[in-house]
Amino acid sequence: MTSRDFQLQMQGFGLTTAEIHYHLPDHPSLLQLYVWQEYDLAPDFPTLKDFLDYWDREIEGPLHSVRVAHHRLIQPSEWRAVDGVITLH
């Protein structure tokens, strides 16, 4: 059985990290940092957008800024059949 993460990578998903800066509800002049990480599809980032929509609806700390980094760990084109192994000394 393969892991969920591996299956997502084979479908083109890549690890996405978002630095979310938001204002503290009780101290609006202060910024807090939240780091979010999940597998998502670049460049549209539907999973991240869903999370940010949830944040706007449910969390009191208003968003200040979001910085996104995305890296595809494994792409389907990187896999190919190997007919044999050659050992060199």
Top-confidence residue, 79 or 45 = 45
In a domain, 43, yes or no: yes
CB 63 within 8 A of CB 24: no
pLDDT digits (tens, 9 = 90+) for 5-58: 888 888 888 889 999 999 998 998 999 999 999 999 988 899 999 999 999 999
Q: What is the largest CA-CA distance in the chain?
A: 67
- Domain span at residue 65? 4-73
Number of structural domains (the chain) is: 1
In a domain, 87, yes or no: no
DSSP state for residue 61 in the 8-state scheme? S
Residue 60, pLDDT > 60, answer yes
Q: What is the pLDDT of residue 1?
A: 77
Q: 64 phi and psi, to 5 degrees?
A: -105, -50
Global pTM?
Answer: 0.74
Mean pLDDT of all residues in 60-81: 73
